[in-house]
Structure 1
Amino acid sequence: MTTHDKTTRRRFLQAAGGVGASLALAGCTGSEGDGESTPAANGSATSEGTETGTSSEGGEAGTLNLINSTLSSLDPISADDTASGAVTTQLFDGLMTYPNGEVPVEPVIAEGYETSEDFTTYTFSLKEGVTFHNGTEVTAADFVYSYERLAASSNSRTAADILQTIGVVHEVDGDENYVPESLAVEAVDDYTVEITIEQPFAPTLQVLSNNQFAAVPEGIVGDVEGYEGEMEYNEFASSNPIGAGPFTFDAWQEGTDVSVSAYDDYHGDVPQLDGVRWQIIEDDNAIYNYAMNENADAFDIPTAKFDRGKLSVEETDDRGRRHGTYGPVRNGKTVNYLGVPTLSVYYIGFNMEAVEKPVRQAVAHALNQQTVVEQVFKRRGVPAYHYMTPGIYPGGAEGYSTHAEESYPYGYNESQLDEARALMEEAGYGPDNPYELEFLIYESTTWEDTGKLLRDQLASAHIEMTITKAPFSALLSRVRKMDVQAYSLGWVVPWAAPDAFVKHLNPAASDPTASGAIESYNQWPTDTEAAQNAIDAWNQISENRAPTDEAEQLRAEAAVEMEEANWADVANLPVYHQIEERFWYDRVSIPPFGIGGMFKQKYNGASFE
């Protein structure tokens, strides 16, 4: 057994093979990200003129006022968007955590852990005296129940993370469905949890740090076998979520705001704030006005309002994070600035059963990622030609650029409208019978501008594109039902390695209307040569999960093959990688967040100056 405890803070990456090498490159991405384009990642907010918050001055506690976008749920196994995750991060704790959204991950409810020599058994020792917000003590039985919910509940959106990604040992029935109560998660005693996985998986502790693995009180809802439930599910998911995090739930008014209060009996660093409140706003102008009226202490600046000439980057730290100032802003003040390369990719997705391949290829030929990043996103992102970010790509940023420049089939840093037009004419389309394509976007001026740029270019290629805007939650609902042709979306991946990105390019897990684990929303037909190549490559990754140099190399090679398969069939069309940004007034102090993203940061370390 290898023993790890919180006092030594021994890096998990030492036991995770090549993941550490990937993380070392994570700061090597390019210019600043969009900052506004992903309502789920950054938060957004409602309308101009909302009352001023309760920020404090003079070192006193107060309420941290932020901006968020539409939430989907407060149940950690259901809240699979980052807008909801920003809130559930404050309410729930698990065995491990991303400290301020950084890696390596650290124990939080766990006091320490041991790993078997073959890396298939993890034994966690829990802190004693940790309490849920209802006053009951957190024990090993709560984790057994919480993980069973993740695997078996009909409310779980991320069962694949425990059953396939980590691969916790379990039974399946004749239809390959999980057999309830067969999960190899055992309460050895009140304060010891043992987890057995089918085969080694290098980033196990990183995945266990994600919110869906948080502890909830045993039997709190009856959505799995053997538990009647103490409350109705909707109550738990929307008005009474009970966790063991640094903040307790106050209220959530859909479309308006959500708030939490400091939990004075928190087992870790007790919050220095009275609470956190997120105003829910989707409109860019309203976001900017809300921030400029100083109703928000920390915020994002929508790209339409961003002036690159006002940005001064004064330092880039050893994690690639950019620290500086921005201003003066509209209200005359100069605010603080932080830009962080995060594990994200934003793309145009296709319902491949509803959009013909020549159309998808024509859109790829028309799209010039560099133009979009420079003209639309004002260089607040990195042009994306792969799903993997430059820092995670095998060979780093240099390998990323070299492979894209030499092999990307649709024009590297250029639009190829002649090729797009030729493809469409060969498919039987022309000036008198253009192809009609709906592009569904969430309410974002940058995605709207991107869509308009594409629409104008595609007109010459016999594609008549219409742009439909929807709130983020409404977009997700349509995408999950595959009631779309093309759409804008992004992934903030759950761990820092190539397979965390390319698992979303697996055709065998791409039909959200089917049963089983869903990794991507595109209904990729599995009978194409490229699809089979992608499936074979994913199988190679799945069969070589050990934390060894040899296995890491095989995973890296297979990840590149999956990227090329995606190029061939154009399942998802990468547009940009984000550098997530935070702007804030001097009155508040918030520790910098890390590569995991702002939504993974707990605010018990924030305070008012």
Structure 2
Amino acid sequence: MTQTRMARLLRSRGQQRPWQAAVAGAAALTMVLSACQSDGGQGGGGDGGEGGDIIIGTTDSVPTLDPAKCYSYYCGTIIDNIGSTLVSYKPGETTPSPDLAAEEPEISEDGLTYTFTLREGVTFHDGSELTSEDVKFSLERALNINHPEGAAFLLEGIDSVEAPDPLTVEITLKEPDITFGSKLAYNVATILPSDGEYTAPDEKLPDDSTDDTYEKYVNENLVSTGPYTLEDNRQGESIELAAFGDYFGDAPKNSRVLVSFFDKSAQMVTALKSGEIDVAFRDLTPEQRTSLENDDSINTIQGEGASIRYMVFNTRLEPFDDPDVRKAFAAAIDRDRIIDEVLGGAGEPLYSMVPPSFDANVPAFDEQYSDKEPSDFIDGKVELDLWYSTDHYGPTEPPLAETLTRMLEESGSFEVNQKSSEWAQYTSNMAPGPTGQYPAFLLGWYPDFLDPDNYIQPFYHSESSFLRMYDNPEMDQLIRDEQTAEAADSEERMRTFEEIQRIAAEDAPIVPLYVSIPEAFVRSDVEGVQDTMDASQVFRYYLIHK
């Protein structure tokens, strides 16, 4: 296996049904890839396919590799390629299938108990064998750590997890949840070895725990049962993965993957054009995309749009404690202008948090505000701070904030102060509840599972929302109604979703902006990327090869 290119580089979720129905630049990348010709790593990787080594460039960031803490796109991508869950999405499918589970679960008549039978002979990267105790430990660990930056809320419906024998897991819910099977496919439910280096509190940590309390349980040395082992993690520079020789599924079509993090998208474009990297994925400016589209040595792969962008208001803080201010903001937004000026056309207007690809979508914001002006709701001029992250959503984020500022100020009803911070500070200061310091801030969402509920509960439920800045008992009841419906696509459930979206537009605690259309740019000798650009938004490294 040749080391030349890797040596230079290293330095530097359609609608599903439930079962019951950064680098400085290419010239500086000079460090030798560790153990490239050996069987290094926790699981003896390097036994993948004949598709060579793949180098993937991104301007995204990975704040953590602990499933209990991860809740952003690219840390989820890395965990998805190293970890395994009871169920997962196969390429091109929108219904989860058994993964570590040997078959679909048995579900009790009351819809509360899911009984899984595990695959036999599955091995963790540390050499230990998977048992039901590992599943129990992993799910309870995520729930008990209850990390404020994580996605434990997806598992909060669990009442108990039992392991009656080494290959049987019984998960009992507090109440029926038509989406529960799909939630188990999210990386917060990644299965970890219970007898290894991972630790967990005996009970759920209180919501007001200190950062030190949460962090003492976080483990960045990810060990699971997935197709790759974690070989090296250089924060902000690179992550190296090796094919796991004892993986229970089909072997990866490549031997190793190096993910290289770039500070600037222009550097990533240069690296791709020169052949220093094989794939550029997230994020490029419209001008850079056009440049690559015109390069004969580069192929453009466009995926299905399921990720969305939106503006959040802390309804407990001025001026957004006034619903009329929120409505005036909604009336000022020109989504087509955002897509043209910021995205170069690579987006779709979003008039509900539920994307238009779902049958349940109702364009309620268009219906309620298309013929309105901000002055219909407020008199005079409102001053507001508009926050965005400088290092999380790619190079289009400052232009997005600038375009929003211009359209708000051009309405004559707003005076906008643009403010920004790095992602670590950003996530801390936008914290749920009245202590959040940001009254208005931009966020993005990548679906945890492919159901309209995943665009509703995480934002609008008073207790289980990760935002927790909106309290409406009627909304809480409607969410419970759609989650306990008899079928995912029943007429009753669709009517409930319609009512939810109309209330959401009327109260406007969040203003949806657009659906992102994902694009990957790959060297002409690279294949397999097109097979993973599906609605699940899971970027599967193991399909990519030369």
TM-score class, shorter-chain normalisation, is 0.7 to 0.9
Measure the CA separation in 1 of the matches of 2:269 and 2:154: 36
Give the partner amino acid of 1:241.
Answer: L
Whether contact under 8 Å (1:158, 1:212) holds in the other structure is yes
Query: 3-state DSSP class of the match of 2:102?
Result: strand
Shift of 1:569: 2.2
Measure the CA separation in 2 of the matches of 1:255 and 1:564: 42
Shift of 1:582: 1.5
Matched, 1:13 2:4: no
Partner of 1:124: 116
Whether contact under 8 Å (1:200, 1:546) holds in the other structure is no
Partner of 1:437: 385
Whether contact under 8 Å (2:333, 2:408) holds in the other structure is no
Shift of 1:100: 3.4
Query: 3-state DSSP class of the match of 1:292?
Result: helix
1:376 and 1:112, CA in 2 relative to 1: closer, same or farther beyond 3 A? Answer: same
Partner of 2:181: 205
Measure the CA separation in 1 of the matches of 2:177 and 2:515: 26
Task: Kindly provide the CA deviation profile for residues 266-295 of structure 1, in whole angstroms up to 9, marking residues without a partner as x.
Answer: 111222323212122343333333333333
Query: 3-state DSSP class of the match of 1:342?
Result: coil
2:240 pairs, out of 259, 265, 270, with 259
Q: How does 1:4-403 map to 2 (within 5 A)?
A: 13=17, 15-17=19-21, 45-49=22-26, 50-51=28-29, 61-100=52-91, 102-116=93-107, 118=109, 119-155=111-147, 157-163=150-156, 167-168=157-158, 170=159, 183=160, 185-219=161-195, 220-225=197-202, 237=218, 239-300=220-281, 302-306=284-288, 327-329=293-295, 333-354=296-317, 355-356=319-320, 357=322, 358-394=324-360, 400=362
Measure the CA separation in 1 of the matches of 2:216 and 2:254: 26
Whether contact under 8 Å (1:351, 1:486) holds in the other structure is yes
Query: 3-state DSSP class of the match of 1:607?
Result: coil
TM-score after normalising by structure 1: 0.74
1:424 and 1:537, CA in 2 relative to 1: closer, same or farther beyond 3 A? Answer: same
Whether contact under 8 Å (1:590, 1:605) holds in the other structure is yes
Comparing 119-128 with 137-146, greater Cα deviation is found at 119-128
Query: 3-state DSSP class of the match of 2:17?
Result: helix
Shift of 1:238: 5.3
1:237 and 1:246, CA in 2 relative to 1: closer, same or farther beyond 3 A? Answer: farther
Query: 3-state DSSP class of the match of 2:504?
Result: helix
Give the partner amino acid of 1:478.
Answer: N
Measure the CA separation in 1 of the matches of 2:399 and 2:199: 46
Give the partner amino acid of 1:189.
Answer: D
Give the partner amino acid of 1:208.
Answer: L
Shift of 1:596: 4.1
Measure the CA separation in 2 of the matches of 1:437 and 1:604: 43
Whether contact under 8 Å (1:281, 1:287) holds in the other structure is yes
Query: 3-state DSSP class of the match of 2:163?
Result: strand
Q: How does 1:556-575 map to 2 (within 5 A)?
A: 556-575=494-513
Give the partner amino acid of 1:73.
Answer: T
Measure the CA separation in 2 of the matches of 1:101 and 1:303: 27
Give the partner amino acid of 1:158.
Answer: A
1:63 and 1:459, CA in 2 relative to 1: closer, same or farther beyond 3 A? Answer: closer
1:291 and 1:352, CA in 2 relative to 1: closer, same or farther beyond 3 A? Answer: farther
Percent identity, please.
Answer: 20
1:457 and 1:506, CA in 2 relative to 1: closer, same or farther beyond 3 A? Answer: closer
Give the partner amino acid of 2:405.
Answer: R
Measure the CA separation in 2 of the matches of 1:200 and 1:534: 18
Whether contact under 8 Å (1:368, 1:411) holds in the other structure is no
Whether contact under 8 Å (2:304, 2:518) holds in the other structure is yes
Shift of 1:199: 4.1
1:208 and 1:422, CA in 2 relative to 1: closer, same or farther beyond 3 A? Answer: closer
Shift of 1:233: 8.8
Measure the CA separation in 2 of the matches of 1:224 and 1:570: 38
1:386 and 1:153, CA in 2 relative to 1: closer, same or farther beyond 3 A? Answer: same
Measure the CA separation in 1 of the matches of 2:374 and 2:338: 18
TM-score after normalising by structure 2: 0.82
Give the partner amino acid of 1:593.
Answer: T
Give the partner amino acid of 1:254.
Answer: Q
Shift of 1:555: 2.6
Measure the CA separation in 1 of the matches of 2:488 and 2:262: 46
Gaps of 5+ in 1: 1-10, 18-44, 171-182, 311-325, 510-516
Matched, 1:589 2:534: no
Shift of 1:16: 4.5
Measure the CA separation in 2 of the matches of 1:242 and 1:14: 29
Query: 3-state DSSP class of the match of 1:110?
Result: coil
Give the partner amino acid of 1:502.
Answer: I
Measure the CA separation in 2 of the matches of 1:593 and 1:60: 16
Measure the CA separation in 2 of the matches of 1:70 and 1:213: 21
Partner of 2:10: none
Aligned residues: 495
Partner of 1:491: 445
Measure the CA separation in 1 of the matches of 2:488 and 2:260: 46
Measure the CA separation in 2 of the matches of 1:594 and 1:555: 29
1:538 and 1:12, CA in 2 relative to 1: closer, same or farther beyond 3 A? Answer: closer
Give the partner amino acid of 1:225.
Answer: D
